[in-house]
Chains A and B, each alone.
Chain A
Amino acid sequence: AQSVTQPDIHITVSEGASLELRCNYSYGATPYLFWYVQSPGQGLQLLLKYFSGDTLVQGIKGFEAEFKRSQSSFNLRKPSVHWSDAAEYFCALRGGYGGSQGNLIFGKGTKLSVKP
């Protein structure tokens, strides 16, 4: 099976605090993983991606993610959150077979709120 789970529907953090958004995947081989961000009324912007190699990947806007094969996880982190980071975040897996082959399988998303 190929699927993505984001356990947290909504997270609230204070501005300046650190952030970690969780993502777990199910896939039979080495996954291609992505994090996207969606601001209200907007499309999806690619934050970062993991294909292979270094398990800690850096992205735009100060985000990073760590791939842990043993835990089937690809968690997104940011050391210090800014109010402009408030948005919805989606973890995605590139489909390897079936109708979605080569396209994205998304988690349900985590909505991030930032307290001043």
Chain B
Amino acid sequence: KAGVTQTPRYLIKTRGQQVTLSCSPISGHRSVSWYQQTPGQGLQFLFEYFSETQRNKGNFPGRFSGRQFSNSRSEMNVSTLELGDSALYLCASRSPDRAYEQYFGPGTRLTVT
């Protein structure tokens, strides 16, 4: 079974722009969670989607948003990019029968200049 895939793997944007990242979960997984990883703050939970609905949200500003499609693929969007948004963005999926285990993709490395 293919793992979690994320596109693109690398991205360079300019401050003030917006960006969209994509995540395809493992087949059969309906929950997708997003995390931000930075050297200073470490790994922080952004939000979770399940059946096209946001189920939980971490402590991030409204510039960070997401959505999930009927095939469980998810996108996250960051508007009005700031230098501090430079990070590795990881998504994770989990299956209904092993709901406590999250499986991570390779991440998208976003650099804001």
Contacts and interface: CB of A to CB of B under 8 A. Distances in A.
Identify whether the interface residues of B are mostly helix, strand, loop, or mixed. strand
Nearest to A46: B101
A101 interface: yes
Contact of B56 (A43, A100, A109): A100
A32 B102 CA distance: 12
Contacts of A42: 106-107
A36 B107 CA distance: 15
Q: Which of B33, B55, B99, B102 has the most CB of A within 10 A?
A: B102
Contacts, number: 59
Contacts of A100: 45, 56, 58
Interface string A68-112: 000000000000000000000010101100011111111111000
A102 B98 CA distance: 12
A101 B31 CA distance: 13
Contact of A46 (B35, B58, B99, B103): B103
Interface residues of A, number: 26
Nearest to A108: B42
Contacts of B75: none
Contacts of B103: 46
A101 to B, nearest CB: 6
Given A42-B106, A43-B107, A49-B100, A103 B4 contact: no
Given A41-B106, A46-B102, A51-B100, 4 more contacts: A46-B103, A90-B43, A99-B59, A103-B45
